Amino acid sequence: MDRLGLICRNILEEPYITQRELAKRMELSLGTINGLIKECAEKGYIREDEDQRGKRLALTETGQAVLAPYKVDGALIIAAGFGSRFVPLTFETPKGLLEVFGERMIERQIRQLHEAGVYDITIAVGYLKEKFEYLIDKYDVKLLYNPEYSCKNTLATVYRARHLLKGRNMYILSSDNWLRDNMYHAYECGAWYSASFQKGDTKEWCFTFTKKGRITDVNVGGRDQWVMYGPVYLSREFSARFLPVLEAYYEAPGTEQFYWEQPFVDMLKGEAKRRLEAEGGTLLARAEEASGWKASQWDQIEMDVNRQPENQVYEFENLEELRLFDERYQNHSDNAAMDLVSRVFKVPESHITDIRCLKAGMTNKSFLFRVDGAHCICRIPGPGTELLINRREEKEVYDTVASLGITEEVLYMNPDTGYKIARYYENARNAAADNWKDMEICMGIVRKLHQSGLTVDHSFDIRERIDFYERLCLQHGGIPFEDYEKVRGWMNELMDRLDQMDRPQCLCHIDANVDNFLMFEDGSAKLLDWEYAGMCDPIMDISMSAIYSYYDAEQTEKLLEIYLKRKPSKEEYYSVFANAALGGFLWCLWAVYKAALGEEFGEYTIIMYRYAKGYYKKLKAL
């Protein structure tokens, strides 16, 4: 769209616009605007009308035909990600569904699109996808699920939506942007990327562009720069040349964590050609054929910078930034975890600062925070854990072992909900399974627990747990292993043999894996997360620790000797491998059940199943 087309678009959107207003909006002189309007009239694009409000300009059919190729066909809103910098709010609500001044960010953008006449809107979802379902009825949008949202970045999301972009003029939006004024239009000129000016040092992606606004380079970091910030518009001509390269990038190894903009940046730099050539040339040839454009010309891809005024586009990096923008979040985030921390420490939410997400565990989610100098960690039970874990029994264990000084300092624990707040230890690290000095310290803590004489009223019964998880699996789609019935019989043999041994019982941790040991610089350690703890054969802790560490038989035997401080007896030897087999079988069932609920743990399921089969065969051979 040239300047005459822009005159037509502005007149279509605002028939009563003055020439002075046009000059300001298009950043042109008043004389230039007068000339453009005269030229549009001479070409028959516009005519002058008069109504009750006075004189106005209107598009003719010829003018509307000029605009037709530039009509925006729709919008893709990217909303698949987790939003880790907004925990704990995003544990419950996707970031794009957070409210700013009482309006959800994604709804504000949908409304702005509608105001511009753009109604064909697709939302690419992933994390908490069900939360977006109501938008189908409220705004007649469509949802597109990206199954790779948890392991790949936005390049994969746009790849999944590429059919929506091909041959169409489309906006791409981030669901978590907040735009002060509506910057969308029914008609757009060539491809553009929204930009905001950042004063001082920045780590954002910074534009280099010509006087006319054509983007020539993009680099991460700079000072006093126009940076990528906000929505994007892809013309059908741009997408025809860009999407084949994006598709090739998706298939190329090592691009899993790329943003969707990376192929464009690499095209400008000449890196796209080199990257795809390095993959043997097949991907490069396919991209060239699909785009009808030689790779040597890719650096000529055309996209303009769309410079936005200050305070127009907002992309909140964390809760602290949102608090500064919308004061409601200072003390009323409407989040259960934030409300809990506020009540436990008797402070307003504004005192909860330095919030950071921890990597989600296999059962729970956690986040770090500070309250008036205290550095703590809050555990939030994962969905469905109330079925799997007895929180009252967990609290009983914590209360029982408190005198030993081997656990983290628990500041709050709710036996009904499973929420826990504990002290966070600076400069501590997890134990390393391949560091035998670490393992000696860990086994020393386990030994201290076993020899303490402390007891609780409940047991960890491996037979009962296997039966329980087996039922859950069968109720949720079955168990996928071809030889499961045979292996289940093997496990019954092992359990029967252990019952005959009548092994001694003591208070055990059950989940004594290296990730649950905190190691300190002075050589001491603490054992965390006692969710499965109960009375059991003490050798069970050694077996579980070994399979969690993916130890082989030789390493498992070495760990047992470290714990015992001597050579194991035949019975202890049998017990450690039988319990390792049963533990592998149990956690395999646990993972199968979790997968049926939508949580995947990669090869963990197979590794655990192999422990069950491998150690059964080992014991059988004896």
Under 8 Å between Cβ of 556 and 576: yes
598 pLDDT higher than 80: no
Q: What is the pLDDT of residue 68?
A: 85
pLDDT tens readout for residues 183-200:
999 988 889 999 999 999
DSSP 246: H
Ranges 58-67, 241-250, 451-460, 515-524: which has the least confidence: 58-67
Q: State the greatest distance between any 2 C-alpha atoms of the chain, in Å, as a whole number.
A: 103
Give pLDDT tens digits for 370-387: 998 889 999 988 766 667
Please compute the mean of the pLDDT values over residues 209-231 and round it to a whole number. 93
**What interhelical angle do 484-501 and 462-475 show, nearest 10?**
160
What's the pLDDT at 1?
54
CA distance 168 to 70: 10
Average pLDDT on 269-285 reads: 90
Distances (CA, A) of 262 to 180, 228, 255, 270, 575: 27, 12, 9, 12, 54
Average pLDDT over residues 463-492: 95
Q: What is the dihedral of CA 528, 533, 536, 538, to 10 degrees?
A: 0
Which domains, from first to last, does the chain contain? 3-68 (1.10.10.10), 71-315 (3.90.550.10), 335-424 (3.30.200.20), 433-621 (3.90.1200.10)
Helix or strand run (H / E) with residue 207: strand 192-209
| CB contact at 8 A, 525 and 442 | yes
Exposed / middle / buried, residue 189 (Cβ in 10 Å: 0-12, 13-18, 19+): middle
Burial state string for 330-362 with b = 16 or more CB within 10 A and e = fewer than 16 = eeebebebbebbbebbeeebebbeebebbebee
Q: What is the mean pLDDT of residues 160-169?
A: 95
* pLDDT over 90, % of the chain: 70
294-323 per-position pLDDT tens digit: 999 999 999 999 999 999 999 888 888 888
pLDDT for position 363 = 63
Please tell me the total number of residues recorded for the chain in this structure.
Answer: 622
209: its two tokens? 């562009």
Query: Above 60 in pLDDT, residue 362?
Result: no
State yes or no: pLDDT of 258 exceeds 80.
yes
From residue 34, how far is each of 7, 18, 31, 40, 294 by CA, in Å?
Answer: 11, 10, 5, 10, 42
Tell me: pLDDT of 361 over 60. Answer: no
Residues near 8 by beta carbon (within 8 Å), at least 6 away in sequence: 40, 45, 46, 59, 63, 66, 67
Range 217-222, long-range pairs (CB < 8 A, 24+ positions): 217/268, 217/269, 218/261, 218/264, 218/265, 218/268
503 Cβ contact list (under 8 Å, min separation 6)? 537, 539, 571, 575
Asked whether residue 600 carries a pLDDT value surpassing 80, the answer given is no
Q: Which of 4-8, 280-284, 296-300 has the highest mean pLDDT?
A: 296-300
Lowest mean pLDDT among 32-36, 294-298, 473-477, 528-532: 32-36
Quote the pLDDT of residue 206.
95
Q: Count helices and strands (H / E) in the chain.
A: 24, 23
Pair 88, 355: CB distance under 8 Å: yes
What pLDDT band is residue 360 in, cutting at 50, 70 and 90? low
Query: Residue 54 pLDDT > 70, yes or no?
Result: no
**Average pLDDT, integer, range 96-106:** 93
Q: What is the pLDDT at residue 601?
A: 78
pLDDT for the residue 585: 97
- C-alpha 455/C-alpha 458 separation (Å) is 9
Q: 247-251 long-range CB contacts below 8 Å, 24 or more apart?
A: 247/159, 247/162, 247/287, 247/290, 248/276, 248/283, 248/284, 248/286, 248/287, 249/155, 249/275, 249/276, 250/155, 250/156, 250/159, 251/283
Confidence of residue 359 (pLDDT cuts 50, 70, 90): low
Predicted confidence (pLDDT) per residue in 103-160, tens digit: 999 999 999 999 999 999 999 999 889 999 999 999 999 999 998 888 899 999 999 9
User: Residue 49 pLDDT > 90, yes or no?
Assistant: no
Element (H, E) at 123: strand 121-125
Mean residue pLDDT across the chain: 91
